Every structure is written in structure tokens, then in C-alpha cells.
């Protein structure tokens, strides 16, 4: 049975990856400090499985990694300080701690007996500088030259921590795959993201009321969490993904934030209208990954339609968040 370590495994993508792998022939270790993970019955059920170990630790504290084994086949480093509010309020912490966590994990990876691969979760945010200063092609390929945004802007801290992280991985002398997630959504992602936020506003709104929507004309391509996890697992199983930088997501269709809002209105079954608000500061007008390199490598692409993914997301939030006080999303 192959052993997989997932840092940040109580968070959004990490949890779903652990859950999917736990249903197959893998032994999973979740390492998480619970700073952002959702405390719910599903995580508790996952922790109780015989092939899942849950270890609470802080990846920032190198000595705490001694709680972990030294015979993992795969390591997914998903832990990071994220979230727009935190990034804007604590940029120094975001920049320095994200880098320190990665450095600790790379050193830990070197101590493994026979590590097959380290996966580093980067971000689509690394394209932001090129988008701002040059004519960025969308959908965006992985070999797009990267340019940083204004170093004095707090939001730059997150993207810069990931650019630097990618550079560290490229020279770390460990088998690595770098993935750049694009607009992944689904159950347990936290209320600060656009789709759960719109679903919440729509669910609790009076019929025929106005719902505030920001960046209405900005366009994105969204990837449902099940598709994202399937892509990650396919990369893990495919040796040819080693040493590659791969986009993770769905290339098309691109939809506007207004389109997303209307799908959310339809999903909750209410007659609602958009109260158009200004574009969010720092939000790119378009974001979509060019998925050809990933598809050629792993042989699969996204399958879940946006309206179906939003419906699944709504069902989970309704049952676990909107209609109960037993669960909290961070």
C-alpha cells in the first residue's frame, strides 16, 4: 500500500484529495494545524478510517515534522497562508511563512527513503503581473513569462511567495511536480469565495430582491473539486508529469461573474436580480488556464458542468452550513 502525505489536508483541496485516495489502495497521512480547515462530521469520519492518520502539527515548526514517517511515496504540499483578507492585512507573514513552510517540506522530502514525487500547489495568481503589464494570452499556458505586480501592494505577497516557491522546487533536487490551480470550487471551500458567497446571499434573500455582485463582467473558467482531484491523482500516477509545471482546472467555458450569479439564483430557486457593484481591486478581467499540456500528459479533462457543480455545492452548503449551526467554515 503506497503512502501519501497531504499537508493542509483538512483544508479544501487537501481534504477532497485525501477522501478520494482513501477509497483506493493508499495509506493517507493528513498533516494540518487546523488554522483554516473546516471542523465537520465528514473530516471526523475521514480521520476514523483505518488507512487514514490525522496528525495535528505546524509545518512552520521544522521539529514538528519529526511526528511524521520517512517512507512516504508521495507528498502533496497544500498547506499555505491564503485568503484575500489575510493577504491584504498580513503580507509579510504570507510571504515569509509560505516560503518557510515549503523549505521545511523540501528538507523533509529529502529525508524520505524512496520518495516518488513531491507536489507543490502553486496558484493561478502568479500570472497576475503579466496580465497587468503585458498582453497576456487567455487561456494562459504554463510557459507564459512571469512578471510580478507592484511590490508595495500587499496582494503581491501571495503570488510572489508562490513564484519563489516554484523556483525553489525547480532547484531542490527532489522529484517534483508543480500545479497551478485555477478557480477550483465545491463543498467545504469556505464562505469567502465567490460561489458559496453568492449561494448564501441568494438563499437568505427575499424573492425578487437585488443581490450585490462585484466584477460582473469579469470572466473565469471554474473547475469543480472532483475534476481537480481526478487531475491530481492522474498526475500522481503518471511518471511523465515529474519535473513539469501543469495547470489544474477547466479551460472552458469562460463565464462572467454575472453568469455565475444567475446560475446561483436559479439553483436556489428564487427570482433575484443583480445589483452591479464595482470591480474588486486587483481582480483580473479574465482568467482561464490553457489545459492542453495537462491533458496531453494525463489524458483526462474536466467533466462536471458548471451548473451541476454549483448545484452539488449548494446542496452541501444548505445541509451543512446554511441550515445548521453545528458546522463552521473558515
Decide if 243 is inside a domain.
yes
Q: How far apart are the first and last CA of the chain?
A: 33
- Rounded Cα distance, 198 and 192, in Å: 10
pTM: 0.95
Decide if 215 is inside a domain.
no
Whichever domain contains 181, its CATH number is: 3.40.50.720
How far CA 72 is from CA of 57, 90, 166, in Å, comes to: 17, 33, 22
H-only helix segments in the chain:
12-22, 41-47, 84-89, 91-110, 128-133, 156-170, 194-204, 225-237, 257-268, 292-298, 306-317
How far CA 167 is from CA of 9, 102, 196, 256, 267, in Å, comes to: 24, 11, 33, 33, 42
How far CA 286 is from CA of 148, 162, 181, 185, 258, in Å, comes to: 17, 20, 15, 17, 13
pLDDT score of 134: 87
Residue 268 in this model has a pLDDT that exceeds 60:
yes
Decide if 261 is inside a domain.
no
Greater confidence, 247 or 323? 247
Residue 10 in this model has a pLDDT that exceeds 90:
yes
**What one-character DSSP code corresponds to residue 278?**
P
Decide if 76 is inside a domain.
yes
Q: Which residues pair with 172 in a beta bridge?
A: none
Decide if 133 is inside a domain.
yes
* Lowest-confidence region among 6-10, 56-60, 130-134, 261-265: 130-134
Reduced to 3 states (helix: H, G, I; strand: E, B; else coil), residue 2 is strand
* Lowest-confidence region among 21-30, 89-98, 126-135, 203-212: 126-135
Q: Nearest 5 degrees, angle CA 12-CA 6-CA 82?
A: 45
pLDDT score of 36: 60
Asked if residue 293 lies in contact with residue 176, where contact means CB atoms within 8 angstroms, the answer is no
Decide if 54 is inside a domain.
yes
Decide if 325 is inside a domain.
no
On average, the pLDDT of the chain sits at 94
**Residue 40 structural domain:** 2-185+223-249+288-303
Greater confidence, 134 or 217? 217
Residue 60 in this model has a pLDDT that exceeds 90:
yes
Reduced to 3 states (helix: H, G, I; strand: E, B; else coil), residue 256 is strand
Decide if 66 is inside a domain.
yes
280 Cβ contact partners less than 8 Å away, ≥ 6 residues apart: 214, 215
Domain count, the chain: 1
| Number of neighbouring beta carbons within 10 Å of residue 135 | 7
How far CA 6 is from CA of 38, 55, 73, 119, 328, in Å, comes to: 16, 10, 11, 9, 22
Amino acid at each position: 500500500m503506497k503512502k501519501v502525505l497531504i499537508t493542509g489536508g483538512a483544508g479544501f483541496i487537501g481534504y477532497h484529495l485525501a477522501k478520494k485516495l482513501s477509497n483506493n489502495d493508499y495509506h493517507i497521512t493528513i498533516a494540518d494545524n487546523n488554522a483554516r480547515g473546516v471542523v465537520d462530521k465528514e473530516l471526523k469520519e475521514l480521520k476514523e478510517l483505518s488507512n487514514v492518520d490525522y496528525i495535528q502539527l505546524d509545518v512552520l515548526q521544522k521539529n514538528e515534522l519529526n511526528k511524521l514517517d520517512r517512507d512516504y511515496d508521495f507528498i502533496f504540499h497544500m498547506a499555505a497562508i491564503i485568503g484575500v483578507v489575510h493577504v491584504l492585512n498580513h503580507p509579510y507573514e504570507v510571504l515569509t511563512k509560505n516560503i518557510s513552510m515549503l523549505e521545511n517540506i523540501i528538507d523533509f522530502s529529502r529525508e524520505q527513503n524512496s520518495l516518488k514525487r513531491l507536489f507543490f500547489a502553486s496558484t493561478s495568481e502568479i500570472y497576475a503581473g503579466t496580465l497587468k503589464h503585458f498582453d497576456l494570452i487567455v487561456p494562459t499556458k504554463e510557459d507564459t513569462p512571469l512578471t510580478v505586480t507592484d511590490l508595495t501592494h500587499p496582494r503581491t505577497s501571495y503570488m510572489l511567495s508562490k513564484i519563489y516557491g516554484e523556483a525553489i522546487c525547480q532547484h531542490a533536487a527532489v522529484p517534483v511536480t508543480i500545479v497551478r490551480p485555477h478557480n477550483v470550487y465545491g463543498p467545504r471551500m469556505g464562505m469567502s469565495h465567490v460561489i458559496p458567497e453568492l449561494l448564501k446571499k441568494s438563499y437568505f434573500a427575499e424573492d425578487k430582491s437585488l443581490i450585490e455582485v462585484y466584477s460582473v463582467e469579469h470572466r473565469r473558467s471554474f473547475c469543480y473539486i472532483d475534476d481537480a482531484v481526478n487531475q491530481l491523482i492522474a498526475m500522481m500516477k503518471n511518471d511523465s508529469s515529474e519535473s513539469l509545471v501543469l495547470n489544474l482546472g477547466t479551460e472552458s467555458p469562460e463565464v462572467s461573474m454575472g453568469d455565475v450569479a444567475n446560475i446561483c439564483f436559479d439553483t436556489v430557486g428564487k427570482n433575484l436580480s443583480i445589483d452591479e457593484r464595482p470591480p474588486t481591486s486587483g481582480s483580473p478581467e479574465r482568467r482561464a488556464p490553457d489545459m492542453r499540456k495537462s491533458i496531453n500528459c494525463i489524458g483526462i479533462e474536466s467533466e462536471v458542468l458548471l451548473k451541476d457543480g454549483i448545484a452539488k455545492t449548494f446542496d452541501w452548503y444548505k445541509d451543512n452550513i446554511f441550515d445548521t449551526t453545528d458546522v463552521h467554515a473558515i
